[in-house]
Amino acid sequence: MPQQAPRTVVITGASGGIGRATARRLAARGDRLALIARGDAGLAATAEDVTRAGGTALPIKADVGDHREVGAAAAQAEAELGPIDVWINNAFTSVFAPFTRIDPVEFQRITEVTYLGYVYGTRAALDRMLPRGHGTIVQVGSALAYRGIPLQSAYCGAKHAIQGFTEALRCELLHEHSRVRVTMVQMPAVNTPQFGWVRSRLTRHAQPVPPIFQPEVAARAIEYAADHPQRREYWVGGSTVATLIANAVAPGVLDRYLARTGYAAQQTDQPHDPRTPGNLWKPADDEADHGAHGVFDQRAHRRTPQLWASQHHVLVTLGATALAGAAAALARRRA
């Protein structure tokens, strides 16, 4: 790939997990990065990573659940780094628990951060990109934007909402013949610190549903999406496509399968204190940096052929036809 000019990029949720890995990857290109997160220690460590990798870092402490803080962060990014070329919405929070054990104020907070944080970030980016007729917005989505699973009702609801919001916005941008682009990257299970950060009322430690991928896989997909935003979405990890197809082919069967297996699949054998507050109201990395990876390094994959396939749309279409029958048969056999 030919050397590209440095860009001004904003990343929300930049201090850990996917955001942290993406910041490192884009820094290696020499990009100017506005890093938005809540934790002081995590932000400082991410800024050091960016500088060490060859990028320019501007750490900004802000809560994406507050549109005023998001707007102020966008203004600061442009004032200190220049016009925003790419905005990556990634920040989220959640609670692992059955719906009836999530308090209404907790559900509201999750929605404000995980869904409205994307809305506020998108609006802040568009306010600056539309007058210039240039810019890219990348929404970090999830397979759970298409398929809800037990114990994650608030998170699934937010990801579904982001999907619908983004589809509507894309149509509006096309109607206006805008050159601003918006795309989504649908993630599989990723080995990030979130499974130790988020509030959980489970008695065992939360885990992503396998197969699990390293955050660097997600970062490669986000970088590619930012470079090729003409595609409406990219899928990362074969499980993402299999979930989508199974949900389309046999949704009722998949409901019963997840009802039987979804609880155990999201918990390890390690005990967990359900009174642990998590990062719902306060950042988990304010005093200590937790990096990009979670505790599942021994089980996480560093590559996925699905990312390559998603970058070549014809192959995805052909592959989807073959996967549809396999996914439906698997769901019926396990039901």
Would you please indicate which residues are annotated as catalytic (active-site) residues? 155
- What ranges in the chain are assigned the alpha helix state H? 17-27, 40-53, 67-81, 104-111, 117-132, 153-175, 194-197, 215-227, 238-249, 251-265, 305-310, 313-334
Instruction: Give dist(CA 250, CA 260) in Å, integer.
Output: 16
CA distances to 77, 190, 330 from 262, rounded to whole Å, are: 41, 17, 15
Question: Running DSSP on this structure, what letter comes out for residue 281?
Answer: S
Question: Strand 136-142 to strand 181-187: parallel, antiparallel, or no bridges (unpaired)?
Answer: parallel
For the chain, first and last CA: distance in Å?
47
Which amino acid, one-letter code, is at 334? R
Residue 236: Cβ within 10 Å count: 28
**158 close to 117: Cβ distance less than 8 angstroms:** no
CA distances to 120, 176, 239 from 172, rounded to whole Å, are: 17, 6, 31
Indicate the burial class of 280 (C-beta count within 10 angstroms; 0-12, 13-18, 19 or more).
middle
* Residue that is written with structure tokens 């065992």 in the block: 204
**199 close to 106: Cβ distance less than 8 angstroms:** yes
